[in-house]
Amino acid sequence: MSRVYNFSAGPAVLPEEVLLEAQAEMLDYRGSGMSVMEMSHRGKIYDGIIKEAEKDLRELMQIPDNYKVLFLQGGAWTQFAAVPMNMMKHGKAAYIVTGQWAKKAWQEASRYGEAVKVASSEDRTFSYIPDCSDLDIPEDADYVYICENNTIYGTKFWQLPNTKGHDLVADVSSCFLSEPVDVSKYAVIYGGVQKNIGPAGVVIAIIREDLITDDVLPGTPTMLKWKTQADNDSLFNTPPAYGIYICGKVFKWLKKQGGLAAMKERNERKAAILYDILDQSRLFRGTVEKKDRSLMNVPFVTGDKELDALFVKEAEKEGLVSLKGHRSVGGMRASIYNAMPEEGVVKLVEFMKRFEEEHT
């Protein structure tokens, strides 16, 4: 067996301990004589798995009792529609567009009501987070929407926008569980798990209870109505059962690492190793404003497309894979999620230094 350092933006690296545990339980889950993949989601064993996953997540994020935790499917994309369908009571919402994912969410919401773009950083290729301290938010907006960590561009909201009393909805797909969070500042926190938590196919939504009602837009599919899912504890239909089981293992792993405060410290240390070289290098440079840098996704370039391609290719030979930047940005992107060991970042930086010496 030979494992690489996988810098993919998603689906992404998972903790090796979790994969090994899943492997050990693959054929016979704790004496049940079957795999978790093979068992009924209505059975006692699976009920224990999903309940424990929720309990551990609540503990990790200190989720207040007046929030529901839903394990859903359909990717983050499906929530781009579910959010307006469940929340646009006045048919209006404010969107802050800081990247492709926020833009897609804004466009999708526009199909269901008036989605007002109240701020954007598209003028400079989404390389910064706009000042959101005093935005012109319509009085009757049902919510303010952000993508908290911009996976493609490598920026992060280090300060939440001033919503002027409106509910805040955040797509946290690529920064989920990377640091402690005050859930009470949000109305809805949701994200696909394939970036920082588990296998693709699961979306976790943490929703303030008063937002879960029968008062949804006409035509909302049964499956997309949050109340359907909440009333059935995420077991309305067959959930992405195996994926949720792996998420549960990752929650246990995170608790063992010391929880989210410990993860934040570790993630800051890892990111600093990479940002330090980008700040000093004669060849590589980061592509976003320093104050808005993400701890999870680190895009960088040499300024020469051919050299970028060569870097990606040669890095792969060293077991440093999936470093190619998103097609809309080019260059490189190192995603250094929770499960990326510090050693992987150190190896990458050592390789960058060697590459720089050979090519300057």
Ligand X SMILES: *Cc1c(COP(=O)(O)O)cnc(C)c1O
Q: Which is nearer to ligand X, 72 or 352 (CB)?
A: 72
The dihedral of CA 88, 89, 90, 91: what is its sign? Answer: positive
Residues contributing to the site for ligand X (CB under 6 A): 10, 75-77, 101, 147, 151, 171, 173-174, 192, 195
Annotate 82-121 with b (16+ C-beta within 10 A) or e (fewer).
bbbbbbbeeebbbbbbbbbbbbbbbebbeebbbbbebbbb
Angle, in degrees to the nearest 10, between helices 305-317 and 342-359: 130
The catalytic residue among 171, 252, 253, 324 is: 171
Q: Which is nearer to ligand X, 29 or 226 (CB)?
A: 226
257's tokens:
């690492």
Nearest distance in Å: CB 133, ligand X: 23
Q: Which is nearer to ligand X, 10 or 198 (CB)?
A: 10
**Distance separating alpha carbons of residues 220 and 111, to the nearest angstrom:** 13
Q: Which is nearer to ligand X, 39 or 76 (CB)?
A: 76
**Distance separating alpha carbons of residues 281 and 349, to the nearest angstrom:** 11
Nearest distance in Å: CB 96, ligand X: 13
Planar angle of CA 147, 96, 271, nearest 5 degrees: 40
Cis previous bond, 341, omega within 30: no
**Distance separating alpha carbons of residues 337 and 7, to the nearest angstrom:** 8
Nearest distance in Å: CB 72, ligand X: 11
Nearest distance in Å: CB 193, ligand X: 8
Nearest distance in Å: CB 183, ligand X: 18
Asked if 195 is an active-site residue, the reply is yes
The catalytic residue among 56, 68, 92, 101 is: 101
112's tokens:
């269901």
The catalytic residue among 195, 225, 227, 324 is: 195
Annotate 272-290 with b (16+ C-beta within 10 A) or e (fewer).
eebbebbeebebbebbbee
Nearest distance in Å: CB 78, ligand X: 7
**Distance separating alpha carbons of residues 338 and 346, to the nearest angstrom:** 15
Q: Which is nearer to ligand X, 194 or 302 (CB)?
A: 194
**Distance separating alpha carbons of residues 154 and 334, to the nearest angstrom:** 9
Q: Which residue is nearest to ligand X (CB)?
A: 75
**3-class DSSP state of 192:** strand
DSSP structure class, residue 29: S
DSSP symbols for 235-262: -SS---HHHHHHHHHHHHHHHHTTHHHH
130's tokens:
């706009």
Q: Which is nearer to ligand X, 10 or 130 (CB)?
A: 10
Asked if 101 is an active-site residue, the reply is yes
Nearest distance in Å: CB 109, ligand X: 14
Asked if 304 is an active-site residue, the reply is no
Q: Which is nearer to ligand X, 147 or 323 (CB)?
A: 147
Cβ count near 238 (within 10 Å): 10
Question: Would you please indicate which residues are annotated as catalytic (active-site) residues?
Answer: 101, 171, 195
